[in-house]
């Protein structure tokens, strides 16, 4: 049985839910028109925070993990979405090369890869795994927790094509965020589809640019619904050149944090929110490589605390030199009294499901994507059903799931804007 959600704050979010449900035809038409102009990322996952007074994405992963947490009921949606995505890109596709993260020894990650193989196999593709790890010289069997196995093989590059021994794919799907740089084997491929594109990797991508795009999307969406975009948008700023021990970098982080806290205080006063605001300071590039610093007073930030928070656990991830200062959005969601946050999973332009990230030892203002976290399939037993538009706000699991899916799709659309703006091969009209 899937556990149910306990929401501590309900007022404004219920109003937002009701407004979204009432505007459903206009929202779906708006998305449809947007997707006529913009190409969605092949797949992604979005971390959301429900503060009761606002609902906002705090991270958008274009090389998602965690698909193993989707329930069996969600898999038909995933397969259909995968079929639609492949049909648009390469209708005659027969072979799919999946490139996993080079550190794929984690059992949860292997289960995620197993789920991806399952989805794309059922979508009508021959799926094999290949890695650019120079230490791998032949096929390697990876044992799965359920007793099965995956086989990963060394990549074979022939001129402008990439594949495996006796395997020539139409499409190459990356599940490695390439935070340590782009291997030569993946560069200058001209005859195959590489998804996501290389400029989506953390070697070049920046969270600050994504949230700049998200702010643009949130303003358009808020205008459609006649609402304040702040209710769905986490304000953000950035500091570059925050080298270890740099006094200028520290001063930038302090001043930006102070300015952001002042902005949030004004918003809290406007909405009568009786809470102390906070901001989070985190690396502007990379996913799980560095920590997150929660700050309620800019004077709390010193060089030692900043350096400790942003230290990379692995040397090959490189030093953090750019940071994003983001409005802190607390989470008031609970599963068995533990703090939780929803994660929405998407393929192409479709929501395929989601899950909760839960951490019993973290607070409402802390990063939950940390050691000790656990995962629960999206805590709505009826999450796969269509929204019930006549239901009381806050009382219908499918309605809450639909609202989360709308915000997730806004973040996915923002990623589309972001990738178009940062595409090195895009034509310039300046």
Most confidently modeled of 32-41, 171-180, 242-251, 274-283? 32-41
226 φ, ψ (degrees, to nearest 5): 70, 50
Question: What is the percent of the chain where pLDDT is above 90?
Answer: 57
Residue 378 is predicted with a pLDDT of 72
**Which band of pLDDT confidence, cut at 50, 70 and 90, is reported for residue 264?**
very high
pTM of the model: 0.92
**How far is it, in rounded angstroms, from Cα 98 to Cα 373?**
27
pLDDT in tens, 309-337: 777 655 555 677 889 999 999 988 888 88
Which of 23-27, 195-199, 248-252, 324-328 is least confident?
Answer: 248-252
**Which band of pLDDT confidence, cut at 50, 70 and 90, is reported for residue 15?**
confident
Q: Is the pLDDT of residue 354 over 70?
A: yes
Contact status, residue 236 vs residue 208, Cβ threshold 8 Å: yes
At 176, list the tokens: 């490695």
């Amino acid at each position: 049985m899937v556990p149910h959600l306990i929401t501590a704050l309900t007022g404004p979010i219920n109003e937002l839910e009701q407004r979204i449900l009432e505007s459903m035809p206009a929202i779906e038409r708006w998305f449809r028109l947007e997707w006529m102009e913009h190409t969605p990322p092949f797949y992604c996952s979005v971390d959301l925070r429900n503060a009761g007074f606002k609902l906002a994405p705090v991270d958008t992963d274009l090389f998602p993990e965690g698909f193993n947490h989707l329930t069996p009921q969600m898999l038909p949606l995933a397969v259909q979405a995968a079929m639609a995505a492949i049909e648009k890109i390469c209708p005659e596709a027969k072979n799919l090369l999946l490139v996993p993260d080079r550190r794929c020894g984690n059992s949860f990650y292997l289960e995620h890869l197993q789920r991806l193989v399952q989805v794309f196999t059922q979508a009508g593709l021959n799926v094999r795994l290949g890695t650019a790890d120079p230490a791998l010289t032949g096929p390697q069997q990876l044992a799965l927790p359920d007793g099965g196995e995956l086989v990963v093989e060394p990549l074979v590059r022939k001129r402008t094509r990439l594949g495996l021994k006796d395997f020539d794919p139409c499409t190459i799907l990356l599940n490695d965020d390439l935070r340590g740089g782009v291997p030569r084997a993946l560069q200058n491929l001209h005859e195959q589809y590489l998804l996501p594109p290389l400029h989506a990797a953390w070697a070049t991508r920046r969270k600050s640019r994504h949230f700049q795009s998200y702010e643009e999307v949130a303003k358009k969406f808020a205008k459609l619904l006649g609402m304040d975009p702040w209710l769905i948008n986490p304000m953000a700023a950035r500091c570059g050149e925050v080298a270890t021990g740099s006094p200028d970098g520290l001063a930038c982080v302090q001043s930006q944090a102070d300015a952001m806290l002042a902005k949030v205080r004004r918003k809290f006063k406007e909405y009568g929110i009786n809470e102390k605001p906070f901001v989070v300071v985190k690396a502007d590039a990379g996913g799980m490589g560095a920590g997150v610093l929660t700050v309620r007073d800019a004077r709390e930030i010193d060089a030692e605390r900043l350096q400790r928070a942003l230290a990379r656990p692995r040397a090959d991830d490189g030093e953090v030199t750019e940071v994003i200062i983001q409005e802190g959005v607390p989470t008031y969601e609970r599963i068995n009294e533990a703090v939780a946050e929803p994660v929405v999973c998407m393929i192409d332009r479709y929501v395929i499901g989601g899950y909760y990230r839960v951490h019993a030892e973290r607070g409402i203002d802390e990063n939950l994507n940390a050691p000790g976290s656990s995962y629960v399939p999206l805590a709505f037993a009826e999450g796969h059903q269509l929204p019930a538009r006549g239901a009381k706000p806050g009382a219908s699991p499918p309605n809450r799931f639909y609202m989360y899916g709308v915000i997730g799709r806004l973040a996915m659309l923002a990623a589309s804007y972001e990738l178009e703006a940062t595409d090195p091969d895009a034509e310039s009209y300046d």
